[in-house]
Structure 1
Amino acid sequence: MDKTFLIIDDDPAVCKMLELLIRSNGLGRVVCVLHSGESAVGEVLFYQPDIVLLDMVLPVTGGVTIVRQLVSSGFAGKCVMLSQISDRQMISRAYEAGILFFLNKPINAIEVVSVLRSAMELVHLKQTMNTIRSTVLSVPDESQNPQPLSIEAQLSDIFRDLGLIGTAGIEDIQAVLLKIIAHRRESREPYQLKEIYSAVCQSRGKDSDAAQRALEQRIRRTIQKSLSTIAQIGCADYYDSVFTEYAALLFDFRQVQQEMKHIRSPREEQGKINTKKFMEGILSRITV
């Protein structure tokens, strides 16, 4: 289904250019164009577009105020702001209000199309997850006394939430987690990840420094992918249950925020991961 856009800008030329870019690049359809902030919130809530493109400075009601009112009204779409203003504090206030991306004027056509496509992907991701969640919740309980899930099944559920199903590194992460669980059953001594890596490699008949480094690299790449997934979910919906459950549990939340900045602007540095925090966070969700 085509994505829908609503444009709010007091410059008719900008509105025409945005409409042309959306139409000529097959991004979707524009359902409404407004040239003032007056009644903008009511119009957005009426049309319920997927993406709102709006200027920061508008007659009657400013763009930041409009975004705040939309968020407080439960608007499910995403807001992309355009402005000639370059003041960092004002841009920060716009992000705090709830915008997804900020674009500087004058408009750069390539940048606009790239940002809108990213916004569309985030909207699609949220819609897909909502569909999956509603489908799962609608499945009736076939057993009044369900059997407890195995550790492997519990891990699979977590990996699915984190978007890691089908990723090569999840077998390595699962093997490391099972070794940590086995270590805790046998000893009260704290574990060292390098020792766990060595034990995993030994069980696979590849106990060498090169094998351990390769194992660690696969695990770190997989955890970095998970951080990116969580950050994308946070960009799409800051209150999504997966985001609120795992963002601070598996990562330093400041690094999640940094990854969100990177998604919004690739010039920003990526967020960093902490392998042990990730492992401990998953273990805290496992019933052994």
Structure 2
Amino acid sequence: MNLFIIDDDEAVRSMLIDIIEDYDLGSVVGEASNGSLIDENLLAVKKVDILIIDLLMPVRDGLQTIRDLGSSFTGKIIMISQVEDKDMVGKAYLLGIEYYITKPINRLEVISVIKKVIENIRLQKSVQDIEKALNILEYKPVNYDTKDKFTDENIVTYSQYLLTELGMIGESGSKDLINMVEYLFQYQNENPFENEFPSMKNILSTVAIRKLGENASDNELKKEIKASEQRVRRAIFQGLNHFSSLGLTDYSNPKFEQYATKFFDFIEIRKLMMDMQNNIKPSISHVHINIKKFVRVLYLESKKEYTN
């Protein structure tokens, strides 16, 4: 991945370059001290995938720079700033940034955010590649077995893409959720379910057996089932947090409108939004998390992404 950094503080630019290079997150192909020094042509020549830009800078600030770039820059944007004003942050998200990092720079946060953006880029490319393949398949005769195999391999990619959209892909529980989607797809191919969806006990047990193997003891399976359920619960809570924050910043955000009520209980989102508004730290113990609803929707939406 090629990254370009724009910040008027040389120390910040140097710190970000060190983090990116030390943790092998990509190549820094350029840097600038303010937005007036870059344009879409420079970013295109440099083949920039990720633009890291400061909000407040002399001559041309981050918001104006992003506006000027418009749709000509197709890469991802990470904004950094000392500003925590909700209106300013909201404007940044409306302009299409992926993440907002608050200064002073936290090494672990920078690493986590850049990794998530890289994963998002890769997943989007995978989805685009699959869609191209599907367009080709529409004009070529394929036997049932071939199509089935193609679907089985790629429904996982769609679930990864959705979890990225939901801000959950970095959570360990996302792997459990992806395993559940894969199992449900294979299960439905063998046992079509119209109105009856497998119980969470059945899903968790099967996924645990697949992970540990048929020879695992009952005690080992029980521990894995409990641990898996806790990981999934934390991952969904992260998604709830992400969308509550998004809704608080911009209630009309397209992602919020598309996913919030579909995947989560809106009452719980409203509760978290109120907590955030009152500077109360959200707690997983005070939130009702409907795991079965989330898994069902994730599976059906992943499958729908493929069939569309």
TM (norm. structure 2) is 0.55
Q: Deviations over 1:22-59 (max 9, x none)?
A: 22222221111111211433333443311111110122
CA distance in structure 2 between the aligned counterparts of 1:11 and 1:17, rounded to whole angstroms = 10
Q: Could you tell me which amino acid in structure 2 is paired with residue 68 of structure 1?
A: R
Residues 103 and 178 (structure 1 numbering): CA distance in 2 closer, same or farther, change over 3 Å? Answer: same
Residues 170 and 268 (structure 1 numbering): CA distance in 2 closer, same or farther, change over 3 Å? Answer: farther
Give the structure 2 partner of residue 251 of structure 1: 263
Return the offset for 1:92: 2.2
CA distance in structure 2 between the aligned counterparts of 1:73 and 1:169, rounded to whole angstroms = 34
Give the structure 1 partner of residue 31 of structure 2: 33
> Which of these two proteins has the greater Rg computed from alpha carbons?
1
User: Secondary structure of the equivalent of 1:79?
Assistant: strand
Return the offset for 1:276: 5.5
Q: Deviations over 1:68-124 (max 9, x none)?
A: 343x32422111111111222212221222111112222222322232222222222
Q: Could you tell me which amino acid in structure 2 is paired with residue 167 of structure 1?
A: N
Give the structure 2 partner of residue 162 of structure 1: 159
Higher helix share: 2
Give the structure 2 partner of residue 141 of structure 1: 139
Return the offset for 1:282: 3.7
Question: Structure 1: which 5+ residue stretches go unaligned?
Answer: 184-190, 202-213, 236-242, 262-266
Give yes or no for contact 2:80–2:100 (8 Å, CA) kept in 1: yes
Give yes or no for contact 1:250–1:278 (8 Å, CA) kept in 2: no
Give the structure 1 partner of residue 124 of structure 2: 126
Give the structure 2 partner of residue 204 of structure 1: none
Match of 1:111 among 109, 112, 118: 109
Give the structure 2 partner of residue 6 of structure 1: 4
Return the offset for 1:221: 5.1
CA distance in structure 1 between the aligned counterparts of 2:68 and 2:156, rounded to whole angstroms = 36
Residues 250 and 157 (structure 1 numbering): CA distance in 2 closer, same or farther, change over 3 Å? Answer: farther
Give the structure 2 partner of residue 63 of structure 1: 62
User: Secondary structure of the equivalent of 1:13?
Assistant: helix
CA distance in structure 2 between the aligned counterparts of 1:140 and 1:169, rounded to whole angstroms = 25
Give yes or no for contact 1:79–1:99 (8 Å, CA) kept in 2: yes
Residues 111 and 274 (structure 1 numbering): CA distance in 2 closer, same or farther, change over 3 Å? Answer: closer
Give yes or no for contact 1:250–1:282 (8 Å, CA) kept in 2: no
Question: Structure 2: which 5+ residue stretches go unaligned?
Answer: 161-174, 204-224, 247-254, 274-280
Aligned CA-pair RMSD: 5.2
Give the structure 2 partner of residue 205 of structure 1: none
Q: Could you tell me which amino acid in structure 2 is paired with residue 137 of structure 1?
A: N
Give yes or no for contact 1:80–1:101 (8 Å, CA) kept in 2: yes
Return the offset for 1:168: 4.2
CA distance in structure 2 between the aligned counterparts of 1:12 and 1:20, rounded to whole angstroms = 12
User: Secondary structure of the equivalent of 1:38?
Assistant: helix
Give the structure 2 partner of residue 187 of structure 1: none
CA distance in structure 2 between the aligned counterparts of 1:45 and 1:268, rounded to whole angstroms = 41
User: Secondary structure of the equivalent of 2:127?
Assistant: helix
Query: Greater shift after overlay, 273-282 or 30-39?
Result: 273-282
Give yes or no for contact 1:56–1:83 (8 Å, CA) kept in 2: yes
CA distance in structure 2 between the aligned counterparts of 1:56 and 1:275, rounded to whole angstroms = 40
Give yes or no for contact 1:48–1:77 (8 Å, CA) kept in 2: no
Residues 51 and 141 (structure 1 numbering): CA distance in 2 closer, same or farther, change over 3 Å? Answer: same
Return the offset for 1:62: 1.7
Give yes or no for contact 1:247–1:253 (8 Å, CA) kept in 2: no
User: Secondary structure of the equivalent of 2:179?
Assistant: coil
Residues 47 and 13 (structure 1 numbering): CA distance in 2 closer, same or farther, change over 3 Å? Answer: same
Report percent identity of matched pairs. Answer: 23
TM (norm. structure 1) is 0.58
Give yes or no for contact 1:251–1:274 (8 Å, CA) kept in 2: no
Give yes or no for contact 1:8–1:36 (8 Å, CA) kept in 2: yes
Give yes or no for contact 1:50–1:77 (8 Å, CA) kept in 2: yes
